[in-house]
Structure 1
Amino acid sequence: MKIHVLESFMFDEPSVWVTATTVVTLLSTVYLGFAEMIGNHLQYSKFTNSSSDKKPSTRQPIKLSSRTGFLILYTPAFLAGLASFFIFPGGGIRFLLLKIAVTFHFFKRDFEVLFLHKYSGGMILGSAILISVFYLSAAASFIGVHYLSLGLPEPSIDLKYIGLILFIVGIVGNFYHHKLLSKLRKSNEKEYKIPQGGIFNLVICPHYLFEIIIFVGLSFISQTPLAFACTFGDSMYLIARSYETRKWYVNKFEDFPKNIKCVIPYVF
């Protein structure tokens, strides 16, 4: 019965290789969330110099500027989305919406990196490459697996337009809170401050909340098992990162409001 309900929301897997990729994607992204929770952070922004390895080492990691690091994160995924219009033309309205949404999401992130964000930290090259590979794989997999699913029976419950609405809500909310973050400091300031405005009075990472909504929207547009796996794994990572971010603020600011949650208003 449960399997039948799931099948009504998702395309069938087009091959055993796609099924294997879905499982690997889910396990690897959930692991990243678990690693955040135990203090093994991906090293960017506030956690650039963090490490669970306390042993002294003469080998120093390569550190990038934040702008360079974030461009490495998002640009390959944006280019993959852009290339998909030429590699996979046609495919119907659902496939077109998916290609547009994936490409626009990563274009928006590059736009923010270049013209919106203000930076105070840096990024370790290894973390930049790891996250870039994840985003590139996610973008290519969202589009490529859906292409392989063309011609299969459509799910009996069509979520693509609900997904489009969620995607737009996520994009707008994410951009708005990134804009609020960019206004916290003047261009010559480097110190962190407690964010204000929007729903920052409810959660410390509303930009992560809206990024989760973006990925939920993408998975609803696609409705492939791999898309849902990517969304679940990315959500677990962002929730864990939000938990660690709130802990960082509590330790840094004595006046941090205790009622502010991590990422889900009033809940967590």
Structure 2
Amino acid sequence: MNHKAIYSLSFHITGHSFERERERESSMALFLDFIFPAPASLFLAAMTVIGVTTSALGGISEATGKNIQYSKFLNAGAGDISKETKISSRAGMLLVYSPSLAAAALASFAVPGFAVAGRCLLVRIVLSLHFFKRVFEVLFIHQYSGQMMILKPVITISMAYCINTVTLLYAQYLTQDTPEPSFDLRNAGIPLFLIGITGNFYHHYLLSKLRKKDEKGYKIPTEGLFSLVICPHYLFEIIGFLGLALTSQTLYSFSWFLGTLFYLMGRSYATRKWYLSKFENFSGDVKALIPFVF
């Protein structure tokens, strides 16, 4: 190969490399138009990867029958649960949500100067409303089957929620004095959050009305979007977390949304499979999570 051919080939390869580099830079610039730049925090980077990975694996485990043992899946795990420490369902669900509510509500007191105004305050309010609704439902809406909850998964779920809440608040705190993203998504995020929290509450209310006083068994829900999917409360929860991510616009908030999506897809698939196995009259046309699709 002569010198001209070598030079031409080298220029061709180098040109392609520059082009790919420009494309990567362009994609990154477009991405940064929608979110705050990731802070130089090894902790946040690790939590982002860990959160999405563990949630995705959790969703796969749910879909393949290795369910977290609460509600209708209390006896789904392997082994004898008779020796496990248990608490009432109401106490268990309070333990799941209360620490996160406290973390969100008290964030401004724990960190001086945090969430005085602006986006940080808005994110703290959204998180507080989310977990306040959960605690309210536990105390005044949910009707319980009478089954106890195993303490171990209760503590695991509670820690996961609380760690996610604190980490998201910390990620938001680090955006203070940082230039806002070019596209402000709060005007889409707040309505989506309100739609999510309202739809989730409404379908939890419908579930609570299935059981008459002193009834403990499970029934097939049919009102609301239950006629189309067996887990519309999960669907609206996902919408709510998308609204939170758009309101926050941090990389971690989007990772929490993706983790929630992956996990609830697996949990809803397992729930539909459970209904099909327990009720002969359960319609196969009812999907797991997304009407007419999944």
TM range (shorter): over 0.9
- Please show how residues 56-67 of structure 1 align to structure 2 within 5 Å: 60-67=83-90
Amino acid at match of 2:194: I
1:35 to 61, 66, 71: 61
Question: Which residue in the other structure is 1:72 paired with?
Answer: 95
CA distance in 2, matches of 1:65, 1:196: 28
- Please show how residues 8-47 of structure 1 align to structure 2 within 5 Å: 8-17=33-42, 18-47=44-73
User: 163-172 or 141-150, which moves further after superposition?
Assistant: 141-150
Question: Which residue in the other structure is 1:197 paired with?
Answer: 223
When residues 185 and 225 of structure 1 are mapped into structure 2, their CA distance, relative to the original with a 3 A threshold, is same
RMSD: 1.4
1:147 to 147, 167, 173: 173
Q: Is the 8 A contact 2:115 2:124 kept in 1?
A: no
Q: Secondary structure at the match of 1:94?
A: helix
2:109 to 86, 94, 98: 86
Pair 1:172-2:198 in alignment: yes
1:181 to 201, 207, 211: 207
Amino acid at match of 2:119: R
Amino acid at match of 1:214: G
Q: Secondary structure at the match of 2:174?
A: helix
User: 10-19 or 246-255, which moves further after superposition?
Assistant: 10-19
Aligned identity (percent) is 46
Residue 84 of structure 1 deviates from its aligned partner by 1.0
1:136 to 123, 144, 162: 162
Pair 1:210-2:236 in alignment: yes
Residue 16 of structure 1 deviates from its aligned partner by 3.2
| TM-score (norm. length: structure 1) | 0.95
Residue 36 of structure 1 deviates from its aligned partner by 1.0
Residue 59 of structure 1 deviates from its aligned partner by 7.2
Q: Return 5+ residue gaps in structure 2 as ranges.
A: 1-25
Q: Is the 8 A contact 1:66 1:122 kept in 2?
A: yes
Question: Which residue in the other structure is 2:275 paired with?
Answer: 249
Residue 245 of structure 1 deviates from its aligned partner by 0.2
When residues 190 and 151 of structure 1 are mapped into structure 2, their CA distance, relative to the original with a 3 A threshold, is same
Amino acid at match of 1:153: P
Q: Is the 8 A contact 1:63 1:122 kept in 2?
A: yes
CA distance in 2, matches of 1:149, 1:63: 41
Comparing both chains, which one has the higher relative contact order based on Cα–Cα distances under 8 Å and sequence gaps of 6 or more?
Answer: 1
Q: Is the 8 A contact 1:91 1:147 kept in 2?
A: no
Q: Secondary structure at the match of 1:9?
A: coil
| TM-score (norm. length: structure 2) | 0.87
Q: Is the 8 A contact 1:91 1:150 kept in 2?
A: no
Residue 3 of structure 1 deviates from its aligned partner by 2.2
Amino acid at match of 2:105: L
Segments ≥4 residues shifted beyond 6 Å: none
Residue 58 of structure 1 deviates from its aligned partner by 8.7
Q: Return 5+ residue gaps in structure 1 as ranges.
A: none
1:98 to 112, 123, 142: 123
Q: Give the number of the structure whose alpha-carbon radius of gyration is greater.
A: 2
1:220 to 232, 241, 246: 246
User: 115-124 or 174-183, which moves further after superposition?
Assistant: 115-124
Residue 196 of structure 1 deviates from its aligned partner by 1.7
